[in-house]
Structure 1
């Protein structure tokens, strides 16, 4: 594979057809040759930030495989570019591709804080943890520019409402001040995602995420401030990072994580095609082996939509991963417990009084 064939700094190496669109976009050879001669780019390379204006922001999670009741996403699409990300398929609902579009066309919900406040002021709403990043990372690079996540955290604190965060970006430490205030009231739980201890693997799987060192530092600093952290060692990809599970669990425990979770990788919808294309370009020698191992975890297919099975996997390979996880919990987390967040304060602050920010 030549350097020209690989898009450095991106996970997906191409766009795939959006299943909801009738028309198919393709680049013809004569057009590519014209661009080469003229010294022009065949497509826009830089990330675009596109404002959208949803009517609501809090989503009820109906999947029994996901450990949350409600989620919200300040951004759609994610510049982190993780090749395995299940959220890629959601970009098709917006008329874009799950491939490069997902990483380069980031939809910005500037009104998210106002929508959240409107939701929390509903008389019918009863407090239940709302998780930031149920779909795409709330601390992806766009947050440095727009600070929507920060503003949403201020709303959660204003109403003393419990909130969870899922991220793989050390930028979360920029909000340590408000996280500490939320934690004083037992209103915050943080999930830091770490999929490998190898920077080489991290750069291939998750090209625009924070380094492993910075993520471990984030776990350590949050834990030192008594902010509860769960490490998401997900997804486990047989043949790529599954052999690291024990060492990963030991490392995050030593840095202060109170618990860990994991999933077995699944490649639903367009992700199967994107992942297969990616692995043949990045790991050609082991591509077929890895794809077959993934298929062994999902009844012979990459595309597994079965509730109760799709994130756990099945078969010998998946069982080996689960056995390692059971061992890791006994060895490194036996005396630790992730606390339950409080919901009883919300009713007292529902009028929006006593805002300190």
Structure 2
């Protein structure tokens, strides 16, 4: 990020008197300075701190300024770290050599104060302008990437509700008396609308301005609609869903928590072996309540654990019923949990399938009141 902090200048000269005079002059101009007295010290300073300009004496005893300049240009271009060479060598070939090696400017000794001031100001202005340009380019790139990601996420998470609506309509054609099917279709439509709205807001997470409406609730009340949405898909694979949830109250955002649980249950059904059981339970740990979803199936490789919550990550595991997976679901879960001050993870010790968990704070009325 571009900052308005004082610019930092590294002064390198083996003559202590020159360093003292340059240091005093540059500080009077409003710059922060770091003085060093040999070439090795220049290299060490640049390796440990960031500078906006280097004033580099050519004739230093251990490593010459030309050699140090070569080292700098192997790592930084002229825009990233400008260098002004200062030297008593006034011959044209010396000046040309310095410029060819990558110096931004060349000042001869004895130094004329007004010339030094103008040339330092010029290099600092150029560096500041370049930094701003790079920053704006980076922000535009990140914004474009985020917009593309949001579109992919929205399309991914709309597929499950649409599939459930299609199934509900198919069942309606054979059983018009069952009003619960109509209700399921209505709920899934509402859910699609919520997902679209949420992912339009997701860009705000990047700037820490996303609105999250936290309120007291239980995992169980949020899970009812989720189970109803996926029990048909589970039954088609011979999968049973068993729940053992407490009445403990957590502090969460209802819509975002429902989306989290929906992704976890959807993945559990998608990757579970046929004719197995998905287990869902919660457990209190200090002032947090952890929700678990566990299926039986192919285990995730240890070396892939760190990629689980990254966007578009692809694992060796495959859905057991030929379902589609874009690699976005768990990244969505991670974003939603962060927005609610919660956590998400996987138990690396469970080897018979996958055991995912999300953790949220227990509701404490006195803390909310504060």
Give the TM bin, normalised by the shorter chain: under 0.3
Larger-Rg structure: 2
Bigger fraction of residues in helix? 2
Bigger fraction of residues in strand? 2
What TM-score does the superposition give when structure 2 sets the normalisation length? 0.22
What TM-score does the superposition give when structure 1 sets the normalisation length? 0.22
